[in-house]
Structures are given as structure tokens and as C-alpha cells.
Structure 1
Amino acid sequence: MNQTILDKIDSRLLALLQVDGRMSNAKMAHEVGLSPPACLRRVQRLEKSGIIEGFTVRLNAQAVGKQQTVFVEVTLDRQHEAAMEAFERAVVAVPEVQECHAVAADFDFLLRVEVDSTVAYERLRRRELAALPHLQRMRSVFGLRSVKRQIGPLFHL
């Protein structure tokens, strides 16, 4: 993907959308000093270029019964491309895994898992995570509470 050059208006639009992804086009246009059609064209260009990947809702995990966050360090038995791709394909199919990051560390991947309880995590660990291809070792770290949890902002108002 080619890197898109962002001007001050683009950066301001991105900052506004990160704060409120449901902000109306008319309000955004007013905030950045554009007409609504010009504002809409810019947002569409940012979407088309891949800078805006999509719009989503951020849920409170505890409010929907996911009381336990677990970070899982995963080490594979080999680091060649086929093994890593097989692991990645399998891990994306596990709904409790909310994030999976390939990392430069003494392990290969870091997962963020959201589950109902420690019992639910143990069941998931035994039945699904332990069966992931090329898994050599897992280390689980149980989160106690979130001090800061946000998406972005990559751009600031």
C-alpha cells in the first residue's frame, strides 16, 4: 500500500473520528472548515486509501460477561514461514482471542484473550489453544484490571 500524504485537515478529520466515529458529516465539516460534500469526499478518500480500515463499536468486556483478560505468550516449535502461517490461520478462528500480535521477543506471538472466568480460560487453553499448530510453549498472564484501555488515538485534536 502506498503511503498517503495527510494534510492538517485529514489529520483533524482522523482525530475527530477516533473520538467519535458516529460524528455526523455536517458536524465534522463544520469542525474542520469544509463544506459537507468536500468533507465527505475526504473521508471517503481516507477509507479508499486504507487509512480508515472501518468503523466499529468498542464494548465493555465486563459488561457483557467477559470478566477475565488473559495475555498469552506463544512460542512456536519452529519459526519458518509455513509454521507461522499455519498458526496464524488457526488462531484467527478462535473467537476468544481478541488480538494476536507477532512480536520480536523471546516468544513469537502475544495474544489477548477475553473469557468469562479462569475456569473458562482453562477449558479454552486445554481444548483450543493447546491444539494450535506448531505450538511449543504457552505462558499465561492474568490481567487484574485495566489502567488504560483505548483504541488510538494516533491523531490528536
Structure 2
Amino acid sequence: MTDQPFALDEVSKGIIEALQTDGRRSYASVGKAVGLSEAAVRNRVQRLSEAGILQIVAVTDPLQLGFARQAMIGIRCTGDSAELAERLAAIDEIDYVVLTAGSFDIVIEVVCADDGELLDLLNKKVRAQPGVTTTETMVYLKLVKQQYNWGTT
């Protein structure tokens, strides 16, 4: 990941938008939509992927897979917050780790089967980390919006 923003032209934006709608869409179909050949689309997707601009992944619905509890956890710490963030990132149940400014030093997102698993994760894996002073757990009641269309509009 680079600190410099990557400027997308309209064709690259069109390719990304097409793949955001359906990541399994064929390069030939995407090419017709943006006015390029299948090979040209394949090359652009590969360059965008290699540059770290684009990933094509399967996004699952945690509720449909039996993970009934999602939460965002704000963490306050002492010491090196970046070091703590790296340790937290190594925990499988944590799917999002961000260093922040404000009332929390780190914010993490977790997906658990139930409240018992969340409590276990909090007590045994998060609060047990050296440097963690306090946590604040914000349990998701309902996910209203989630999108991945940055930079194309």
C-alpha cells in the first residue's frame, strides 16, 4: 500500500464498477461495457491488482454462516499502539484492526458465533494483551449499510 493516491481513469473506474457488481463477470463482458478487448481488461485488472488498488474476493454474510454476534471494540492502551495493533491483527477472530486518533488508540472488529464466544475473545485474547488498559464494546444490532465502491464515483 502506498501513501500516494492512485489516479483512476474512467475506463479503470468502469472496470472496477463492473466487477463490484459481479466479481465473477467475464473479462469479455466487462470489455464490452467499457469499450476494451478481453485481453486489455485482463491486463488492466492484473495491473490494478498488482498495484494493490483492486482485490477480487468473495464477501460472505456472517449471519448466514452462523456468526450471530458482530462487534466493534475500541481499545485504549499504554506503550506502543502499533505493536499492540500487530499482535491483535494476528488473532484469527479479529477481522479489522485500525490505529486511531481520538478517544481510542485502536479499533477492532470481530465476528463471533454468540455472546459467549465474544466474551471469551474479549477476556482471553484482547484484554489479556500487554498494554491494553480499557476496552469498549459496541455490539452490532443490525448492519444497515456496507459497501466497497470507494474511488469509482
Q: TM-score w.r.t. structure 2 length? A: 0.90
| 2:141 corresponds to 1:139 | no
Give the gaps of 5 or more residues in structure 2: none
Deviation of residue 153 (structure 1)?
A: 0.9
CA distance, structure 2, for counterparts of residue 5 and residue 73 of structure 1: 33
Give the gaps of 5 or more residues in structure 1: none
Q: Are 1:90 and 1:133, in contact at CA under 8 Å, matched by a contact in 2?
A: no
Deviation of residue 49 (structure 1)?
A: 2.0
1:56 match: 57
Deviations 1:35-74, CA, capped at 9 Å, x for gaps:
111221211221222211x221111101111101111110
Q: Are 2:67 and 2:111, in contact at CA under 8 Å, matched by a contact in 1?
A: yes
Q: Are 1:100 and 1:111, in contact at CA under 8 Å, matched by a contact in 2?
A: yes
1:71 match: 72
Q: How does 1:1-157 map to 2 (within 5 A)?
A: 1=2, 3-52=5-54, 54-78=55-79, 83-150=80-147, 152-154=148-150, 155-156=152-153
Aligned AA (1:31): A
Q: TM-score w.r.t. structure 1 length? A: 0.88
Q: Are 2:18 and 2:30, in contact at CA under 8 Å, matched by a contact in 1?
A: yes
Deviation of residue 133 (structure 1)?
A: 2.7
Count of residues paired in the alignment: 150
Q: Are 1:86 and 1:133, in contact at CA under 8 Å, matched by a contact in 2?
A: no
Structure with the bigger RCO (C-alpha within 8 Å, sep 6+) is 1
Identity of aligned residues (%): 23
Deviations 1:63-90, CA, capped at 9 Å, x for gaps:
1111011111100113xxxx22321221
Deviation of residue 113 (structure 1)?
A: 0.9
Deviations 1:85-143, CA, capped at 9 Å, x for gaps:
32122111211111111122111111111111111111111111111231111011111
Aligned AA (1:61): P
CA distance, structure 1, for counterparts of residue 78 and residue 121 of structure 2: 20
SS at match of 1:112: strand
